[in-house]
Amino acid sequence: MSRDPLGAAEQAATAEEIVATLRHDLRNCFGTIRNAAFFLKRKVAREQACRDDPRVEQFIHVIDEEAVEASALVDDVVVQSRMPALRRTVSASARACVHTAAACARFAGTGIHVDVEAADGTVELDPDELALAVRCLVENAAESMAGGGVVTLRGSVVGARYHIEVGDTGAGVPEADREVITRPFYTTKPGHLGLGLNIAARVARRYFGTFAIERRAPCGTRACIELPLGPQGDPGDPRAPGGLEPPP
């Protein structure tokens, strides 16, 4: 079985999403504890019975201090446990990244075809990360078409930006899910982490781009990544991401 050319990038991106989500959630919890301790401290100051027992205020102070220490500890552990940076920012062929994403996409069932058209364009980023982001969108589109279908993958130059669009002919995003579909770990598919859209959005933002997902008329979903074009000329890394040769 051949090695997944984007495997290392996927592992790093998944770990980054998990760590970022845990850090955010834990800091919110510690913030709530501190707010509760502050409220209790003010209330205790007005209660004679509590003033007669200095341990009450002391324990509230301990709760607040421990919440501060725990929050700082979380930050330290996050920094120390981050995987070594795997990304390499180079002048890369966006077209090669798009084709690599299509070639490496994994589909659980049969009957899925990816229709790819991509124009030349140079972008400044890690080509493995861009290919992974697009692959996430292609796989997400394929999963929305349980009976099979065509995933359209387009790459084009629009002004000073490179536009990547992934479309499907599935049922589309239900209105009730519009607000939650891009939340980490949200998924309606058993066995999935629900991080694909988050990875795509994070990669786009990292390289000063944008990410959007919307309903597609008359049916289906369209996901778009836009990135600023880099200096024109021969890419610094002429190969496709993951060491694959770009298609002719």
CATH at 144: 3.30.565.10
Distance, CA of 168 to CA of 223 (rounded, Å): 9
pLDDT at 2: 53
What average pLDDT does range 194-203 have in this prediction?
A: 87
Residue at 153 is within a domain: yes
Mean per-residue pLDDT for 188-192? 57
> Is there a single domain that holds both residue 121 and residue 224?
yes
Can you give the three-state secondary structure of 159-204, one letter per residue? CCEEEEEEECCCCCCCHHHCCCCCCCCCCCCCCCCCCHHHHHHHHH
Angle between helices 196-206 and 127-143 (to 10 degrees): 150
* Structural domains counted in the chain: 2
In a domain, 242, yes or no: no
Q: pLDDT band for 32, please (50, 70, 90 cuts).
A: confident
CB 135 within 8 A of CB 114: no
110 and 222 in a single domain? The answer is yes
Residue 99 in any domain: the answer is: yes
Q: Confirm whether 63 is domain-assigned.
A: yes
Q: Is pLDDT at 162 greater than 50 in this prediction?
A: yes
pLDDT tens per residue across span 123-146: 999 999 999 999 999 998 998 888
Among 145-149, 152-156, 169-173, the minimum mean pLDDT is found in 169-173
Q: Domain containing 34: what range?
A: 7-81
Q: Provide the pLDDT for residue 19.
A: 76
What's the number of CA atoms in the CB half-sphere (13 Å) around residue 246? 19
pLDDT band at 228 (very low <50, low <70, confident <90, very high): very high
72, 105: one domain: no
The answer to whether residues 115 and 212 belong to one domain is yes
3-state secondary structure of 149: strand
CB 68 within 8 A of CB 34: yes
Name the domain boundary from 81, 110, 129.
81
What number is the average pLDDT over the span 190-206?
Answer: 81
- pLDDT, tens digit, for every residue of 42-80? 777 777 656 667 777 777 777 878 777 777 776 666 555
Do 109 and 27 belong together in one domain? Answer: no
Distance between CA atoms of 92 and 124, rounded to whole angstroms?
A: 6
pLDDT at 86: 55
Same domain, 42 and 99: no
- Nearest to 196, CA basis, from 153, 124, 144: 144
Domain contains 54: yes
The CA dihedral of 9, 93, 209, 229, to the nearest 10 degrees, is: 160
Q: Is the pLDDT of residue 83 over 50?
A: no
Give the DSSP letter of residue 2: P
* CA distance to 57, 109, 145, 170, per residue, from 112 (Å): 64, 8, 8, 12
Per-residue pLDDT at 5? 84
How much is the mean pLDDT over the chain? 79
Position 248 pLDDT exceeds 50: no
Mean pLDDT of 108-119: 89
- Of 60, 81, 102, the residue that ends a domain is 81
Q: Are residues 115 and 188 in the same domain?
A: yes
Say if 240 falls within a structural domain.
no
Specify whether 70 is located in the same domain as 142. no
pTM, two decimals, is 0.70
